[in-house]
Structure 1
Amino acid sequence: MNTVDAGAAVGANGLLSIFISLLCIGLSFWALQNLKLDLLIRYPKSAAGKLLQLLLAIVLGHFVSAFLLDYIRWTQSLRFMF
Protein backbone atom coordinates (compact mmCIF):
# COMPACT_ATOMS: atom_id res chain seq x y z
CA MET A 1 0.00 0.00 0.00
CA ASN A 2 1.50 3.30 -0.99
CA THR A 3 1.09 6.62 0.80
CA VAL A 4 -1.67 7.83 -1.54
CA ASP A 5 -3.79 4.76 -0.79
CA ALA A 6 -3.11 5.09 2.95
CA GLY A 7 -4.08 8.75 2.90
CA ALA A 8 -7.29 8.00 1.04
CA ALA A 9 -8.13 5.23 3.51
CA VAL A 10 -7.55 7.54 6.49
CA GLY A 11 -9.65 10.25 4.84
CA ALA A 12 -12.48 7.83 4.08
CA ASN A 13 -12.35 6.52 7.65
CA GLY A 14 -12.57 10.08 8.99
CA LEU A 15 -15.49 10.90 6.72
CA LEU A 16 -17.30 7.73 7.80
CA SER A 17 -16.72 8.61 11.46
CA ILE A 18 -18.11 12.12 11.00
CA PHE A 19 -21.16 10.83 9.13
CA ILE A 20 -21.94 8.14 11.72
CA SER A 21 -21.43 10.58 14.61
CA LEU A 22 -23.76 13.19 13.13
CA LEU A 23 -26.33 10.53 12.28
CA CYS A 24 -26.29 9.17 15.84
CA ILE A 25 -26.56 12.66 17.33
CA GLY A 26 -29.53 13.39 15.07
CA LEU A 27 -31.21 10.12 16.00
CA SER A 28 -30.57 10.79 19.68
CA PHE A 29 -32.09 14.26 19.40
CA TRP A 30 -35.12 12.78 17.67
CA ALA A 31 -35.49 10.10 20.34
CA LEU A 32 -35.16 12.64 23.15
CA GLN A 33 -38.18 14.52 21.78
CA ASN A 34 -40.36 11.89 23.48
CA LEU A 35 -38.69 12.36 26.86
CA LYS A 36 -40.88 14.24 29.34
CA LEU A 37 -38.35 16.85 30.38
CA ASP A 38 -41.00 18.86 32.22
CA LEU A 39 -40.68 16.32 35.06
CA LEU A 40 -36.99 17.18 35.45
CA ILE A 41 -36.72 20.78 34.26
CA ARG A 42 -38.80 23.71 35.43
CA TYR A 43 -39.10 25.33 31.97
CA PRO A 44 -38.37 22.69 29.29
CA LYS A 45 -39.41 24.99 26.41
CA SER A 46 -36.90 27.69 27.42
CA ALA A 47 -33.55 28.19 25.72
CA ALA A 48 -31.76 26.50 28.63
CA GLY A 49 -34.11 23.51 28.43
CA LYS A 50 -33.54 23.14 24.69
CA LEU A 51 -29.78 23.51 25.20
CA LEU A 52 -29.85 20.75 27.80
CA GLN A 53 -31.77 18.54 25.37
CA LEU A 54 -29.20 19.25 22.66
CA LEU A 55 -26.30 18.49 25.01
CA LEU A 56 -27.96 15.23 26.09
CA ALA A 57 -28.38 14.30 22.42
CA ILE A 58 -24.70 15.02 21.75
CA VAL A 59 -23.56 12.91 24.71
CA LEU A 60 -25.90 10.02 23.89
CA GLY A 61 -25.07 10.22 20.17
CA HIS A 62 -21.35 10.22 20.93
CA PHE A 63 -21.59 7.05 23.00
CA VAL A 64 -23.73 5.28 20.39
CA SER A 65 -21.46 6.31 17.52
CA ALA A 66 -18.35 5.28 19.48
CA PHE A 67 -19.90 1.85 19.96
CA LEU A 68 -20.81 1.55 16.26
CA LEU A 69 -17.36 2.67 15.11
CA ASP A 70 -15.70 0.26 17.53
CA TYR A 71 -17.93 -2.52 16.25
CA ILE A 72 -16.98 -1.73 12.65
CA ARG A 73 -13.29 -1.72 13.58
CA TRP A 74 -13.65 -5.03 15.44
CA THR A 75 -15.40 -6.72 12.53
CA GLN A 76 -12.74 -5.47 10.11
CA SER A 77 -9.98 -6.83 12.32
CA LEU A 78 -11.57 -10.29 12.33
CA ARG A 79 -10.14 -10.95 8.88
CA PHE A 80 -6.67 -11.13 10.45
CA MET A 81 -7.70 -14.17 12.48
CA PHE A 82 -7.90 -16.46 9.45
Structure 2
Amino acid sequence: MDGATHLAITALINIILSISSILFCWSILSNIRIDKWIQTKKPFQIRVLMLLLSIIFGHQLATFFIDYLDWTRMITELFV
Protein backbone atom coordinates (compact mmCIF):
# COMPACT_ATOMS: atom_id res chain seq x y z
CA MET A 1 0.00 0.00 0.00
CA ASP A 2 1.47 3.34 -1.01
CA GLY A 3 1.70 6.39 1.23
CA ALA A 4 -1.28 8.29 -0.20
CA THR A 5 -3.63 5.34 0.24
CA HIS A 6 -2.43 4.75 3.78
CA LEU A 7 -2.92 8.44 4.60
CA ALA A 8 -6.44 8.42 3.14
CA ILE A 9 -7.46 5.32 5.09
CA THR A 10 -6.05 6.82 8.30
CA ALA A 11 -7.97 10.05 7.70
CA LEU A 12 -11.19 8.12 7.06
CA ILE A 13 -10.77 6.11 10.25
CA ASN A 14 -10.12 9.32 12.22
CA ILE A 15 -13.25 10.97 10.81
CA ILE A 16 -15.41 7.94 11.59
CA LEU A 17 -14.00 7.71 15.12
CA SER A 18 -14.57 11.42 15.75
CA ILE A 19 -18.16 11.46 14.52
CA SER A 20 -19.08 8.25 16.31
CA SER A 21 -17.53 9.52 19.57
CA ILE A 22 -19.49 12.77 19.33
CA LEU A 23 -22.71 10.84 18.68
CA PHE A 24 -21.94 8.53 21.59
CA CYS A 25 -21.42 11.48 23.94
CA TRP A 26 -24.60 13.13 22.63
CA SER A 27 -26.60 9.99 23.40
CA ILE A 28 -25.20 9.89 26.93
CA LEU A 29 -25.74 13.60 27.58
CA SER A 30 -29.27 13.52 26.21
CA ASN A 31 -30.23 11.14 29.02
CA ILE A 32 -28.98 13.56 31.69
CA ARG A 33 -31.47 16.14 32.89
CA ILE A 34 -29.29 19.26 32.75
CA ASP A 35 -32.33 21.55 32.85
CA LYS A 36 -32.88 20.62 36.52
CA TRP A 37 -29.45 21.97 37.39
CA ILE A 38 -29.57 25.09 35.21
CA GLN A 39 -32.43 27.49 35.80
CA THR A 40 -33.37 28.91 32.41
CA LYS A 41 -36.59 29.42 30.54
CA LYS A 42 -34.96 28.83 27.16
CA PRO A 43 -34.59 25.12 26.32
CA PHE A 44 -32.73 26.05 23.13
CA GLN A 45 -29.78 27.25 25.20
CA ILE A 46 -29.66 23.96 27.07
CA ARG A 47 -29.61 22.03 23.76
CA VAL A 48 -26.77 24.20 22.48
CA LEU A 49 -24.87 23.60 25.71
CA MET A 50 -25.41 19.85 25.36
CA LEU A 51 -24.24 19.99 21.74
CA LEU A 52 -21.08 21.86 22.70
CA LEU A 53 -20.38 19.47 25.58
CA SER A 54 -20.89 16.49 23.26
CA ILE A 55 -18.41 17.92 20.78
CA ILE A 56 -15.85 18.62 23.50
CA PHE A 57 -16.17 15.23 25.23
CA GLY A 58 -16.48 13.36 21.92
CA HIS A 59 -13.35 15.01 20.58
CA GLN A 60 -11.43 14.04 23.70
CA LEU A 61 -12.66 10.45 23.47
CA ALA A 62 -11.81 10.23 19.78
CA THR A 63 -8.36 11.71 20.39
CA PHE A 64 -7.69 9.02 22.97
CA PHE A 65 -8.67 6.22 20.58
CA ILE A 66 -6.74 7.74 17.67
CA ASP A 67 -3.63 8.08 19.84
CA TYR A 68 -4.08 4.53 21.07
CA LEU A 69 -4.27 3.26 17.47
CA ASP A 70 -1.14 5.21 16.57
CA TRP A 71 0.72 3.85 19.57
CA THR A 72 -0.19 0.25 18.73
CA ARG A 73 0.94 0.84 15.15
CA MET A 74 4.27 2.15 16.47
CA ILE A 75 4.75 -0.89 18.71
CA THR A 76 4.46 -3.21 15.71
CA GLU A 77 7.35 -1.33 14.13
CA LEU A 78 9.48 -2.28 17.14
CA PHE A 79 9.41 -5.98 16.22
CA VAL A 80 10.10 -5.63 12.49
Taking structure 2 as the reference length, what is the TM-score of the superposition?
Answer: 0.89
* Residue of structure 1 aligned with 2:59, choices 39, 57, 62: 62
Give the superposed CA RMSD. Answer: 1.6
Counterpart of 2:15? Answer: 18
Q: Which amino acid aligns with 1:17?
A: N
Aligned residues: 79
Runs of 4+ in structure 1 deviating by more than 6 angstroms, as ranges, are none
Identical columns (%): 30
Per the TM alignment, residue 31 of structure 1 is displaced from its structure 2 partner at its CA by 0.4
Correspondence 1:34 to 2:48:
no
Taking structure 1 as the reference length, what is the TM-score of the superposition?
Answer: 0.87
Query: What are the Cα deviations for residues 27-76 of structure 1, in whole angstroms up to 9, with x where unaligned?
Result: 00000012220233223861111000000000000000000000000011
Q: Which runs of 5+ in 2 are unaligned?
A: none
Counterpart of 1:77? Answer: 74
Q: Which runs of 5+ in 1 are unaligned?
A: none
